Chains A and B, each alone.
Chain A
Amino acid sequence: MSYLEYHAKSTPTGLRKILYLNWPLVLLLSAAVGVGLLMLYSVAGGSFSPWVEPQAKRFGMGLFVMLAIAMVPIWFWRNISVLAYFIALTLLVAVELFGAIGMGAQRWIDLGPLRLQPSELMKITLVMVLAAYYDWLPANKTSRPLFVLAPVLLILVPTFLVLKQPDLGTAILLLTAGGGVMFLAGVHWAYFAAVIGGGVGLVSAVFESRGTDWQLIKDYQFRRIDTFLDPSQDPLGAGYHITQSKIALGSGGWSGRGFMQGTQSRLNFLPEKHTDFIFTTLAEEFGFVGGVTLLSIYMLIIIFCISTAISTKDRFSSLVTLGIALNFFLFFSVNMSMVMGLAPVVGVPLPLVSYGGSAMLVLLAAFGVVQSANVHRPR
């Protein structure tokens, strides 16, 4: 669809746009953030500082950014997608060159009041640029090798940069979300089958080679992989976090130990309890009920996004909405798998709940784009 077509159909204008926002989605996002603020209050030992206050302010700002973005027509966002992607890419390179060191990895750019994490930005702009690419690409060319190669490069370059930081979690997220958008856009099954098959083959080849004379990686690398996959082998090192996390979760039981009564988090047995492991505090203090409630909020957000995406005829809008939803899904599912001991520990925060600078802001901005797609949907 073209710019003219948007005009031809009636799209809301002016302040009427506010009526066309997906308000349930706004409420769900606020609910998730509310859960986060509650837990931050708890892990701070019943105090608004040091986490609740800045997080609440950031949420206020994020909400405003989201609404502002939602007011801007979706085609504007489509048109600047390429530019945004390259800006994010430049920032990623910049972080590689001048970035500050935080948490043992090089991730931020310090912009005075705001510490920008370009990898966060990249998660969104990658989805946008891929959506714009497939909006531009005629449907019949989607599966041609040359036109498959281009988006693959768009995905791999930032993935590589993020991996170098090193931030394995985000790299996986980028790769999976990018692949997801390509899949949604209709790229042929065979490519995915080939990539997955090749990946499985390579991994098994590496493991097969262990102990033989054609061993592909070094012994110490194998050992690192071992503890990565099974942290219980190293109970005081890598395994400590995950063991304590499981104890916190498990001790929560059906309905939890009560608000601010979680001993695991209050007594610091939980690592990074206000960021990556905040879910364990929730599960410890509010139990299975609390955990499933948050999971339901998350899934409702996903479902709302999918239904919006299906009901719009605009290809960019659909793809960008679905891509962001997928991103969001990957975010929380990787984090939850990690704290429940289903996946190795990679640094992925719980979206909207974990205390974090740019993560929430970028995420809300992304949902702004989703809202914009919804508002400017031809009706």
Chain B
Amino acid sequence: MKRNSKDADSSHRKLTRRSLLLGGAQLGFAGLLAMRMRYLQVDQADQFRLLAEENRVNIRLIAPNRGEIYDRHGVIIAQNSPSYRIVLVPEDAGDVEKVIANLTRLLPIDEEDLERARTEMRRSPPFLPITLADQISWKDISKVAVNAPALPGITPEVGLTRLYPQNADFAHVVGYVGPVSDYDLSKMEDPEPILRIPRFQIGKVGFEARQEEALRGKAGAKRVEVNAMGRVMRELDRQEGESGADMQLTLDAELQSYTQARLGTESAAAVVIDIEHGDVLAISSSPSYDPNLFVRGISVADYRALTSDPYRPLANKTVQGTYPPGSTFKMVTALAGLEHGVIGPEDTAYCPGHLEVAGRRFHCWKRGGHGHVNLEDSLKHSCDVYYYDLAIKVGIDRISDMANKLGLGIKHELPMSAVAAGLTPNRDWKARVHGQDWLVGDTVNASIGQGYMLASPLQLAVMTARIASGRSVTPRLVKSVDGVEEPSGAGETLAINPNNLRNLRKAMNAVSNDRRGTAYRSRIIAEGMRMAGKTGTSQVRNITAAERAAGVISNDDLPWERRDHALFVCFAPVENPKYAVSVVVEHGGGGSTAAAPIARDIILQALYRGTPPLDAYPSADRSKIEAQQERLERERLKRRESQGNDQA
């Protein structure tokens, strides 16, 4: 027992020793753990705190409201209207396929859209809403709402989308918006993050595109706390964005709508300028299209119909179409002659029906000629030879300078798509572009707005406004931005002798008010409202000597695309010009028959701020005009009703 106990003592000592050793090791390891904790939690705390924040906080952009667009009287042209879409939250739906089946019984959804939604569902966590159908009508939304018990997980969501309540009337001016495409992004150097918001709309064409930056506004942001699955737990804070600027255009919706209706189914363009401030009151290109189709996503068939139409509904003929101005250019040639003292208003030229220049015969439109003509006669009859002769004396460079002074050949920076500069040729230009010398025949052609000469309807209206006012009227389209008035386009007084302008205006007055004027049939007889103007008929083909010998083929016998363009420019009232109008009817035939009546009706509409009284028209036309007024009124009424339906 004693030996045992001695043994026990020694083994107990050994155990104590070893247990202290092990205990020391354990303490040491605990110290190591504490040091590691200190390293992570004290030395590296800031870094890890940052990482934790990155984990938890997500920044979500809030799309700003796009600026709205109004006409000069506050009529809305482009607005943000609620748009409904149907979203599905898979985790709330339970049996997703059954819910989708129930839904498709209520409203048809493309199988393609459903397939896309299913793919998206597989990829995203079940609490994220998936869009099943977009741009749903209010009627369908109500159906879904009523059947909500049969559709778990389905909710109608409301967002904002662009709506153009005037439909086609402003399509060419305002353009349209659409969702950001990959192509849009690829064009941008450093796209704003906001553009990546699904369904975010940007301006694609027209005013919407040109004023994109101002209309878009600034994105807001909210900071949200998300969990590991990405589910939003709560909003931490939010910073509201800035809405885009509201824009008031100089356009008059009523006049614009009338103009559009008046152009009807022609391939034509018309521009109305308020001479006082250069305000563009109406600027219509026909035929037009419904921009809302593009916002909703146009169908292939609709798009093909638009692009294959020979009348080119998508083209904005007012600013991007350029035409030989034809006889409407004669004012420029005349003014250049007067200004440089080459002719006086009463100086005459003899028109035998043609002029031999450098061995080539240039014809007047009237085979028999006009005889002796002075300035007023030449414009009234639109005698060509008078201008051939005058132009040769003045020289192309001085004519070209005068054209520029009057606003031709100059790009007027309106915020619309593809504004064309037109072309006022001169010696320099021909040498530069064609590498050829300027020929006297070129001058002869240019004198009556043919040959190389090109102008857009907008430029023709500006030219007319400048002649009417003697100021360098500059067109403006934006009246005010967020209530702040834009600078006026009234312009400085032109460095042109007022007497010469007065004489020119007198001649233009004769065009529409002299019994023998080319536009006499389109005169206005109301006192104080009379109109002065100039017809133009520009050739789009050459008339050969053989054809001329056999008799020039009438426009009516030609295929549409080879007929002459019909033009008319005018201002009114003659005594105190307020409005300038230009009308171009593509391949419309003669300016006096195809363009002048349209311009007259439009300018009357502007002068009377509505439908003019019948006694403004010559008595012979009144019954015809009355019928036309009634027809247009009916058409516009019908259109307004269909717009009403669209919005409901």
Nearest A residue to B50, CB-CB: A251
B44 within 8 A of A: yes
- State the main secondary structure of chain A at its contact with B: helix
Q: Decide: B52 and A251 in contact? CB cutoff 8 A.
A: yes
* Cβ B51 vs Cβ A267 within 8 A: no
* Complex contact B51–A251 (CB within 8 A): yes
* Given known contacts A250-B40, A268-B229, A295 and B15 CB-to-CB distance under 8 angstroms: no
**Of B10, B16, B49, which one neighbours A139 at CB under 8 angstroms?**
B10
A302 near B26: Cβ-Cβ < 8 Å: yes
Shortest Cβ gap from A356 to chain B (Å): 21
The digit string for A278-306, where 1 denotes a CB below 8 A from any CB of B, is 00000100011001100100110011001
Q: Does A333 contact B (CB under 8 A)?
A: yes
Interface-central residue, B14, B16, B22, B42, by most chain A CB under 10 Å: B22
Q: Are B45 and A253 in contact (CB under 8 A)?
A: yes
Q: Which residues of B contact A142 (CB under 8 A)?
A: 11
Is A27 an interface residue when CB atoms closer than 8 A count as contact? no
Q: Name the one of B7, B8, B14, B45 contacting A250, with C-beta atoms under 8 angstroms.
A: B45
Residues from 296 to 337 in A contacting B, C-beta threshold 8 Å: 298-299, 302-303, 306, 309-310, 313, 315, 318-319, 322, 326, 329, 333, 336-337
Q: How far, in angstroms, from A251 to B101 measured CA to CA in the complex?
A: 49
B59 at the interface (CB under 8 A from A): no
The residues in A between 138 and 153 inclusive whose CB is less than 8 angstroms from any CB of B are: 138-140, 142
Q: Give residues of chain B (21-57) contacting chain A, Cβ–Cβ below 8 Å.
A: 22-23, 26-27, 29-30, 33-34, 36-38, 40-42, 44-45, 47-49, 51-53, 55-56
Shortest distance in angstroms between A243's beta carbon and chain B's nearest beta carbon? 9
Residues of chain A with a CB closer than 8 A to B16's CB = 310
Contact with B along A117-142 (1 / 0, CB 8 A): 00000000000000000000011101
- Nearest-neighbour CB distance to chain B for A176, whole angstroms, equals 11
B2 CB to nearest A CB, Å: 14
Give the interface centre of B20, B33, B228, B229 by most chain A CB atoms within 10 Å: B33
Tally chain B residues at the interface, Cβ within 8 Å.
41
Q: Once bound together, how far apart are the Cα atoms of A242 and B23, in whole Å?
A: 29
Of A250, A268, A295, A318, the contact of B30 (CB 8 Å cutoff): A295
Interface residues of A in 211-257 (CB under 8 A from B): 244, 246-254
B226 on the A face (CB < 8 A): yes
Given the complex of chains A and B, what is the CA–CA distance between A254 and B48 in angstroms?
Answer: 12
Q: Are B41 and A180 in contact (CB under 8 A)?
A: no
Indicate which residue in A264, A322, A337 contacts B19 across the interface (CB closer than 8 Å).
A322
* Contact present for B11 and A186 (CB under 8 Å): yes
Is there a chain A Cβ closer than 8 Å to B586's Cβ? Answer: no
Whether B37 contacts A249 by the Cβ 8 Å rule is yes
Whether A333 contacts B22 by the Cβ 8 Å rule is no
A269 at the interface (CB under 8 A from B): yes
B14 / chain A contacts, CB cutoff of 8 Å = 186
Q: How far is the CB of A324 from chain B (nearest CB, A)?
A: 12
A184 at the interface (CB under 8 A from B): yes
Closest chain-B Cβ to A272's Cβ sits at a distance in Å of 12
A313 lies within 8 A of B30 (CB): no
Contact of A184 with B51 in the complex, beta carbons under 8 Å: no
Given A303-B23, A306-B23, A340-B33, A184-B52 contact (CB < 8 Å): no
Contact A291 B10 (CB under 8 A): no
Contact status B36-A267, CB under 8 Å: no
**Number of chain A residues whose Cβ lies closer than 8 Å to a Cβ of chain B:** 50
Are A185 and B15 touching (Cβ within 8 A)?
Answer: yes
Tell me which residues across on chain B come within 8 A of A252, comparing CB atoms.
41, 45
In the docked arrangement, what's the CA distance between A250 and B53, Å?
12
Task: Say if the beta carbon of B227 comes within 8 Å of chain A.
Answer: yes
Distance of A249 Cα from B304 Cα, bound (Å)? 63
Chain B window 1-15, contacts with chain A (Cβ cutoff 8 Å), 1 for yes, 0 for no: 000000110111011
Q: Provided the pairs A288-B37, A313-B8 are in contact, do residues A254 and B42 lie with their beta carbons within 8 angstroms? A: yes
- A342 at the A/B interface (Cβ < 8 Å)? yes
Q: Which residues in B have their C-beta under 8 angstroms from that of A264?
A: 52, 55-56
Interface residues of B in 491-510 (CB under 8 A from A): none
Q: Is the CB of A306 within 8 A of B48?
A: no
* B640: interface (CB < 8 Å): no
- For residue B143, CB closer than 8 A to chain A, the reply is no
Q: Is the CB of B22 within 8 A of A340?
A: no
B49 touches A291 (CB 8 A): no
Q: Which 7 pairs show the lowest CB-CB distances between chains A and B?
A: A250-B48, A251-B52, A139-B11, A267-B227, A253-B45, A288-B41, A268-B228
Can you name 28 A-B residue pairings with CB atoms under 8 Å? A139-B10, A139-B11, A183-B22, A186-B15, A249-B41, A250-B41, A250-B44, A250-B51, A251-B48, A253-B45, A254-B41, A263-B225, A267-B227, A267-B228, A268-B228, A269-B227, A269-B228, A287-B41, A295-B34, A299-B27, A303-B23, A306-B19, A313-B12, A315-B8, A315-B11, A315-B12, A326-B22, A340-B37
What is B's interface to A at a CB cutoff of 8 Å?
7-8, 10-12, 14-16, 18-20, 22-23, 26-27, 29-30, 33-34, 36-38, 40-42, 44-45, 47-49, 51-53, 55-56, 225-229, 233
Q: List residues of A whose CB falls within 8 A of some B CB.
A: 1, 138-140, 142, 180, 183-186, 244, 246-254, 263-264, 267-269, 283, 287-288, 291-292, 295, 298-299, 302-303, 306, 309-310, 313, 315, 318-319, 322, 326, 329, 333, 336-337, 340, 342
